Structure 1
Amino acid sequence: MLSSGTGRPGRHLPRRDDPIGSLTGGLCERLELRPGLGGTIRAGGRRVDALTFAATVERAAAGLSHRGMCLGDVVGILAPVSPDRFLATYTVMAVGGRALPLSVSSDPRTQRAALEETDARLLLVSADMARAGLDLAERSRVRQVICFGSEPGTTPFDELLRPSPDGNGYSPSRGLFDNGVLGYEDGSGGLLITLYPHSDLMSRFCALRECLDLTAEDVVAVDEEGEEPTRLALVALALWTGACVVAGSGCPAPEGRRVTVRCTPHPERVAAPGARA
């Protein structure tokens, strides 16, 4: 059963530095124009700078479009809270799709039911989830598994980054259509699927911007706890602000710095910007 989102009407008018159409729409251009802004996403010893991340989202979104993904299509994502999970989710929304991030702690039956209920035909997985992703594909309508790595039976994510054969570029305005993120929960009446559209995500983005007042000196920690839509809005806000994101449990802050904002149980400031360890 599909319900509407949480009722946020998205009344906020876009600012010049607001996302366009999706949470990362226009981010690449902003970071290119402001090279000193910085910003990174870190997890498990891996570090991705914000500009590289934003540019990869745009290239991968173009790659999905060239492979026939249509506006409103649902794409499953199986990865722990990490740069891969955020990259996959923002990419799907950037091309006008609906992202369905699966909890790695959900049992395979529930994961499979969520894919079937939403008629997902594509699944993006992290390398450590490749085997589980292939098993899900065998028992669902998923036709292709794209992996952040090179695993037998999957399509490497890097193939999405190849230049367009017809030379067409990418426009973030494609995300102005029916994109968003899907959440699911197993209730007494069966699996409940909830759509959080772009208007809801932008409302969360704007609310977090007002209450947290992030700066480039902040370190934002996100893990498996908390709501997926809020986590996505918070990470996007950090990227737009130039802050550092540490993803996953146990991921340390950069040397000499400390976490200043945590996502769980709800986003809150726990230290002043630029706080030192």
Structure 2
Amino acid sequence: MATWTDVVLGDAGRRGGRPAVTDVRTGEVLAYDMLMKKLGRAAAGLRDRGLTPGDPVLVHLPPGQHYPLAVHAAAAAGGLVVPIEADMDLELFYERLSHSRARMLITNDDLARWSTSAVGDSRIRQIFTFGEVPGATPFADLDGPPRETPGGPAVTFDGFNVLDHDEVVRELRRMAAEIRVRERDIVLVAATEAREQAGMFDLALMAGAHVIAAPGATLGECRELIREHRVTIVAAPTRLAPVLGGEHVRPTMYGRTLDLVLRTGI
């Protein structure tokens, strides 16, 4: 059966330079072809640095152009992806860090200065960052020839319940049939809860849609982004979704209720 990354990004190559993710914080845009090129080489780089199938890899990133690259590089390398909310409080972060028994952490320069203070007596031995951070390895330095993705465990969102690739693929296909994201859709992701963030990125990228990443966007910012980018689907925090207009739906994914706004009227 196809792996998680195969299903999400298997058609990315034919999409060429079309935008996959726009990060509203930085204005940077990641195209589908560059996502695939960077992902394969980063996955090989992780293996070269000691990642073996089933090893947990913490991914501590907000929604943005780096998020799918980190998640799927770790998955394609055979790692067990452990997504951590960017705004998780320090005590809970340390608890998740300790329980995961991870030796690798992928984060960015903003969060690294905060998250590295929680590493303490954990098993983390290698930190990879988007951006320059003293004592950490730039994610861009991960490089190697792409290799076949091993199967096995894929992701855990709570540190306890582990999903393998087959289970993730089944859940994604179930949700794809329910939500029906289209290639022409523009998907605003303002939600930062781990399952919501992972699920919406994957569903959008599976369809070839364009993700607008806006972590923590306010109601006014969401409305402005909807107008500016002609957004058709919004994944927003519970407090915002009902007042954004359009059709408010609450499907369940990975056991978590998502707040989505479909057909925003643009």
TM-score (norm 2): 0.78
Query: Counterpart of 2:96 in structure 1: which amino acid?
Result: A
| Residue 130 of structure 1: aligned partner | 112
- Structure 1 residue runs of 4 or more that deviate by more than 3 Å after TM superposition: 26-29, 33-36, 253-256
Does the 8 A contact of 1:79 with 1:85 survive in 2? yes
Partner of 1:49: 31
**More displaced stretch, 85-94 vs 258-267:** 258-267
1:138 aligned counterpart, secondary structure: coil
State the Cα deviation string for residues 162-212 of structure 1 (Å, max 9, x = none): xx3xxx53223x2xx22322222xxxxxxx622233233212211121112
- Which blocks of at least 5 consecutive residues in structure 2 are unaligned? 239-257
1:270 is aligned to 262
Displacement of 1:267 in angstroms is: 5.5
Aligned residues: 238
Q: Secondary structure at the match of 1:82?
A: coil
The amino acid of 1:257's aligned partner reads R
Aligned equivalent of 1:201: 168
**CA pair 149-52 structure 1, distance change in 2 beyond 3 A:** same
Aligned to 1:118: 100
AA aligned opposite 1:214: V
| Partner residue, 2:86 | 104
Report the alpha carbon displacement of residue 245 of structure 1 after superposing the two structures with TM: 0.8
Q: Which amino acid aligns with 2:146?
A: G
The 1:257–1:149 alpha-carbon spacing in structure 2 relative to 1, beyond 3 Å, is same
In structure 2, what is the Cα distance between the partners aligned to 1:101 and 1:256?
27
The alpha-carbon distance between structure 1 residues 72 and 224, as it changes in their structure 2 partners (threshold 3 A), is same
2:157 is matched with 183
* Alignment-derived partner of residue 21 in structure 1: 3
Shift of 1:34: 4.7
Q: CA deviation at 1:138?
A: 3.1
Matches within 5 A, 1:68-87: 68-87=50-69
Deviation at 1:260, TM superposition (A): 2.5
Instruction: Check conservation: 1:220, 1:259, Cα contact below 8 A.
Output: yes
Higher helix share: 2
Q: 1:258 and 2:238 equivalent?
A: no
Query: Using the alignment, how far apart are the partners of 1:49 and 1:34 within structure 2?
Result: 9
Answer yes or no: is the 8 Å Cα contact 2:19–2:29 preserved in 1: no
1:124-155 Cα offsets, whole Å, 9 max, x none, are 11111111232123332211111101111111
1:170 is aligned to 147
Report the secondary structure of 2:43's partner residue: helix
The Cα of 1:46 is off from its aligned counterpart by 2.0
Distance change >3 Å, CA 26–CA 55, structure 1 → 2: farther
- Cα 1:196–1:263, aligned 2, differ >3 Å: closer, same or farther? farther
Aligned mate of 1:239, from 193, 205, 217: 205
Deviations 1:236-260 (A, max 9, x none): 2311322111122337258451232
Give ranges in structure 1 of 5+ residues lacking alignment. 1-13, 15-19, 185-191
Paired with 2:127 and 2:45, the residues of 1 have a C-alpha distance of 15
- Contact preservation (8 Å) 1:60, 1:160: yes
**Change in 2 beyond 3 A, CA 1:39/1:213:** farther
